[in-house]
Amino acid sequence: MHQARFKGRLFPFLLLAPTLAILVVFLYYPVFQTFRLSLYRVAFLGLRKTFVGFANFSDLFHNPDYIHSIVVTLIVTTAVVIGGLGISLAISVLANQKIRGARLYRLLLIWPYAISPAIAGIVWLFLFSPGYGIVNYLLSLTLHIAPNWLGDPFLAVFIIIVASIWKNLGYNIAFYLAALQNLNTDVLEAALIDGANYWRRFWSVTFPLLSPITFFLLITNITYAFFDIFPIVDVMTKGGPFNATNILIYNLYREGFEYYRTGSAAAQSLILFLGVVVLTLIQFRTSGRHVHYGGA
């Protein structure tokens, strides 16, 4: 087979130059500057910088509020990832049934992903607002109770988790539906002939065949829970009450744009980035072993 060859050694780099330039300007340089800034204490609006080495990192891990933010982030991330994937898979299996109007149902299930996270936060704020929320109005009419959803620390975390899961359901369902519709039906029919019941077929055949999509969604949902639920928290609780929903990404925002401690904010951004990288590598080393490709 004839292989194409570049006439000059520099020509491939010339073709890659636009992409490399964009990566350097918008990715590598900002990362370098963030690391550099994390080694300084920066005065208001950057008027004065003092080199402090790794003191910003040390201060963060000796700060009880920051440790609390780490714990809250891990709780929210675990609930959003496990709850979101479990609910999405269950809904996708039901939506994959051959029923009249199935296409319309699937479209309605996916559409929440099309709205922005900020709008999703506003929707859930109107639903659960203690003063004028429709949920409390209905509860007061039926059960004569009106919980302070956004003023109670436990309930506020619960609502943030539920809203975050709802926002990302459409994304997960779209991938699970595509995977379910492309499964190897011969394997499923063989299991049916062998006398396996529905649950046995699902856990022993269908779920392992979905492992590549599940693994992909596991990684994307972790990233989503760490970064993309920021607008929901900002609109609904602003990190409160009593810092109960002050996740790492929101704490970073407050440090940099409310308190103007940019050195500390830069250190937090690096810690957050490294945390996501470490979790992703752990997933590749553990969950990745149970992924079976080529079965669909």
Domain for residue 12, yes or no?
no
Per-residue pLDDT averaged across 34-60, rounded? Answer: 85
Dihedral of the alpha carbons of 58, 47, 246, 216, in degrees to the nearest 10: -80
Per-residue pLDDT averaged across 160-175, rounded? Answer: 94
Domain for residue 149, yes or no?
yes
Which of 178-182, 221-225, 279-283 has maximum average pLDDT? 221-225
Answer yes or no: is pLDDT of 241 > 70.
Answer: yes
Provide the domain count of the chain.
Answer: 1
Q: What is the mean pLDDT of the chain?
A: 87
SS3 51: strand
Domain for residue 247, yes or no?
yes
- Residue 103 φ then ψ, to 5°: -65, -40
DSSP 198: H
In terms of Cα–Cα distance, which of 171, 16, 25 is closest to 84? Answer: 171
pLDDT value at position 125? 92
Answer yes or no: is pLDDT of 194 > 80.
Answer: no
Give me the CATH number covering residue 149: 1.10.3720.10
The tens digit of pLDDT for each residue in 98-145 reads 777 777 877 788 888 888 889 999 999 999 987 778 898 898 889 888
**pTM for the predicted model, two decimal places:** 0.87
Domain for residue 67, yes or no?
yes
Contacts of 9 (CB under 8 A, 6+ apart): none
* 30-54 b/e (C-beta count within 10 Å ≥ 16 → b): eeeebeebbbbbbeeeeeeeeebee
| Amino acid type, 204 | S
Q: Which domain holds residue 223?
A: 53-290
Domain for residue 286, yes or no?
yes
SS3 169: helix
